[in-house]
Amino acid sequence: MSELSLIEHKSYIGQDFLTWLLAMSEIRGGEMHVPKCGKFDLIFDQKVIMTSAAEKVAWTGEITSIDQIRAAIRTGKKVLEAQFRLTAGPKEWRFNLNTRTFQFKGVKTPKILAREDTEILYDKLDVLDELIGFIDELFSEFVRRRLDRQSWEAEVDAIRNWLNWT
C-alpha cells in the first residue's frame, strides 16, 4: 500500500484522536496531565471542521460551539480539523490541528524575546517543539489507551456519555 493510500485508509485514527481530545478536554475542564510535559490546559477554541462521508454529497463545514460539535458527532459526522488554545504556565499557543496528517495551521506561539537572528530562530523552534511535544504526548496517551481493549472501552463509554451532555 502506498503511503498516500495508507494515510487515507487510516484517516479514522486522527478523527478518533481529535474526538477523544475534544471530549477529554471538556470532561477534564481543560486540565491535562501527561508524564513528560506535566500539567497544562487545553481548550477547544471556537472552530471545528467536520465532514460526513455518509451523506451522498460530502458535507464539510465549520462548527463553532461545543454543543453543536456533540450534536454533529451524534449524527455521525467526523472531525477533520479543530482549533485549540493550549496554556502552560505563562505560555500560550493557539493552533489548528488536522486529523489526516497532523499538520498544524494558524499557529500562534508565545512571544519571542530574543533579538539576534539565530537566537530568535532557536527560541521559535523551542516553542514549536514544546507545542509538538504536548500534542505528541497526548497522542501517545491515546495510543496507549487504544492498544488496551479494556482501557479503550472505558474511554468510548466516557465519550458516549459526553456526547449526551446538555
Partner 1 sequence: MGFLSSSTAFTRFFLIGDPPVNLQEHFTEAVRANAFWDIEKTDAERGLGWVEFDDFTSDAFDPPERTFLADLVVLTLRIDKRSIPATVRRLYVKREEDAYRRKTGRKHLSKTEREEIGDKVEKDLLAKILPTPSLYDVIWNVPNATVLLGTTSQAVISDFMELFHKTFGLDLRLTHPFALGETFCNDEQEIATWAEVEPAVFSAISAGEGEGESHE
| Contacting positions for partner 1 (CB under 8 A) | 3, 6-7, 10, 12-17, 19, 53-54, 73-76, 78, 98-109, 117-118, 120-121, 124-125, 128-129, 132, 136, 139-140, 143-144, 146-147, 152, 156, 159-160, 163
Place of cell 471538556: 26
Q: Which is nearer to partner 1, 90 or 116 (CB)?
A: 116
Q: Which is nearer to partner 1, 61 or 114 (CB)?
A: 114
Q: Which residues contact 24 (CB under 8 A, 6 or more apart)?
A: 32
Residue 114, SS3?
coil
* CB nearer to partner 1: pick between 12 and 59: 12
DSSP lists the bridge partners of residue 78 as: 51
Least distance in Å: CB of 40 to partner 1? Answer: 19
Q: Is 13:78 a contact under the CB 8 Å cutoff?
A: no
> Min. distance of Cβ 121 from partner 1 in angstroms?
7
Closest CA to 165 of 41, 26, 32: 26
Whole-number minimum distance, CB 86 to partner 1, in Å?
15
Element (H, E) at 152: helix 149-163
**Measured from the CB atom, is 88 or 155 closer to partner 1?**
155
Closer residue to partner 1, CB minimum distance, 88 or 138? 138
Q: What single-letter amino acid sits at 6?
A: L
Q: Count other Cβ atoms within 10 Å, centred on residue 36.
A: 9
CB of 136 to partner 1, least distance (A): 7
